[in-house]
Structure 1
């Protein structure tokens, strides 16, 4: 019998819905609450490495991801002039029967996971957030903003970088900016773009793009972090186009398609890692609530999915929610995630310093690590 029979998941991102799906498949009653009015995530594209695809297959949505997204097995490196420097075969970290990478529109992935959860009986409530949490040795009591409440065997806080759950657990965790900001845009895909390609240097630290579907593309430009909050949508579009003008090759076609101000976003890179157990009693943190880092390795979604898979595996295999279970969870997640976070930050520092000579070795080291299931 599983260690839990009822679970509340706080947060409707990748980690939250993956946890809900895996537990509901095994007959656990799951309530999921999401503060936003809809589960279609904000943002543009998402890059899914092979180890993420392996888990999306486990969740039963791989075929839908394959059809909706864009799969590829190599990465290109270019100069600002557009000249192709190198074409590198990417590691199939999910195994030989899956592509190395898939790009996808982030809201589409959110909807696929939500639909899968609902089909398995997960009770999903959007526009709802927790307001209080109290636990004892037998369970956790939650109250919600809609006036309802419930008692659960476990609460999983998958509510992101600014996690309410983390605060309710009494955990103080500093989230710091890394010094870089990123422009992101979702645009139509030129036929010439068939994989992720990166340019290190020029007016931006990184200029890159990733195909996310037959007709769509995720483009991004990384600069020194600036306060762009006062810019109107039209001004943000103009600023991204101005940076993009310094890059040639496929960027010429991409820039011509940068016309929708509502699909341009700017955020700072941030990082934190909860260094120690991610649980307190019967409440546990997963995904960005416990760890976040710059997307320089494109492992954010994969680490969140791994958190969910390991947690669900342990909960379903154990009879009790005891110290042995939590020790196993910490042992299987903390150091693996630390390696990814540290490597992501180190790549950012190398790029900021203008020396990318160590980037390929670091990427290969992480690829070797994540090729082994968590």
Structure 2
């Protein structure tokens, strides 16, 4: 092309930040808009990053900061509700042998690292800003912004999450659907003996687990059948989570003692969604949760979103022409990897909802994670 290509990224989460950094590295002009005034306001409590997520973070140039900020480990423990360890399994290194199998970190810290990378890359960032698509043709997309400005771009990348308004605006009707489960989460101080994820099955919840997120912190969670959110006043969130966790032993009494502030407890339903057929309409393309989401039973949500950004950037920067064929190639490359992860993540939860006692959980998890060792 005789002029520099221009890209608008809508959404500043993991996928939007990653694709912005990677495109700027290729010397494309990138503007990023984020609807929230505070980019880090709802970053959440903690996150478990498998090796294939770490592989992309290394490509972004932020791996050293991530490693210093998080807590790396290589196994998962299965316990009884009273804390008795039944089995310790080695985690598969899905990012390759030169990266940890798993790293936990505080989600706000990951967001801060990505924000810093976006700003260092030289992208234009506007917070508290949304966009309305006015029209598009074979060469680009015209938009009006909520701050009153207008713009035209060669490409718009919709990274605006599960409830993506951009997805709906371009006529893709897929919406997230609840799976029947919900999760309580909180960040808390890390007991000295917690050096990996432990999962307790049984008791009053389907799963009670925790993940170390630094030398001094962890995030803890309990998974139960979803309830009507309106029936749970936010001021009771700490009481509700503590009511569930008090039935668990091991490190749980020490963790539960810190579940006191309802404002620090997060309650969300598990959702599933997979946009089928294509992830674009014209010059608008979806990445991350705007295109797919799954329960965190395999801890792959952020990893898949980061991979989307990496793959899309490879295709965009390696092509002279941005057209339907390129965007369809992006979809076909990603759907073959994303679909089995979404389906496996949902199946793991469904087996619990249905009370299936002889389900091949290790086999399904092993097959899915082995697939993820391959480059996306």
TM-score when normalising by structure 2? 0.97
CA distance in 1, matches of 2:70, 2:198: 17
Indicate if the aligned counterparts of 2:155 and 2:283 stay in contact, CA closer than 8 A: yes
**Match of residue 366 from structure 1:** 368
**Match of residue 74 from structure 1:** 75
Indicate if the aligned counterparts of 1:2 and 1:315 stay in contact, CA closer than 8 A: no
**Match of residue 24 from structure 1:** 24
**Match of residue 55 from structure 2:** 54
Q: Partner of 2:213: helix, strand, or coil?
A: strand
State the number of aligned residues: 374
Once the two structures are TM-superposed, the CA of residue 158 in structure 1 deviates from its matched residue by 0.5
Once the two structures are TM-superposed, the CA of residue 168 in structure 1 deviates from its matched residue by 1.2
TM-score when normalising by structure 1? 0.97
**Match of residue 236 from structure 1:** 237
**Match of residue 118 from structure 1:** 119
Deviations 1:294-335 (A, max 9, x none): 100000000000100000000000000123312321221012
CA distance in 1, matches of 2:15, 2:79: 34
CA distance in 2, matches of 1:133, 1:295: 36
CA distance in 2, matches of 1:268, 1:323: 35
What runs of 5+ residues in structure 2 fail to find an aligned partner?
A: none
Deviations 1:49-105 (A, max 9, x none): 000000000001111011111110000000001100001110010011110001111
Once the two structures are TM-superposed, the CA of residue 280 in structure 1 deviates from its matched residue by 0.7
Once the two structures are TM-superposed, the CA of residue 276 in structure 1 deviates from its matched residue by 1.1
CA distance in 1, matches of 2:44, 2:230: 16
Give runs of aligned pairs for residues 198-277 of structure 1, distance below 5 A: 198-277=199-278
CA distance in 2, matches of 1:105, 1:214: 11
**Match of residue 38 from structure 2:** 38
**Match of residue 149 from structure 2:** 148
CA distance in 2, matches of 1:317, 1:101: 31
Question: Are the structure 2 counterparts of residues 13 and 178 from structure 1 closer, same or farther at C-alpha, using a change threshold of 3 Å?
Answer: same
**Match of residue 321 from structure 1:** 322
Question: Are the structure 2 counterparts of residues 356 and 72 from structure 1 closer, same or farther at C-alpha, using a change threshold of 3 Å?
Answer: farther
Structure 1: 4+ residue segments shifted above 6 A: 1-4
CA distance in 2, matches of 1:312, 1:236: 41
Once the two structures are TM-superposed, the CA of residue 4 in structure 1 deviates from its matched residue by 7.0
What runs of 5+ residues in structure 1 fail to find an aligned partner?
A: none
**Match of residue 169 from structure 2:** 168
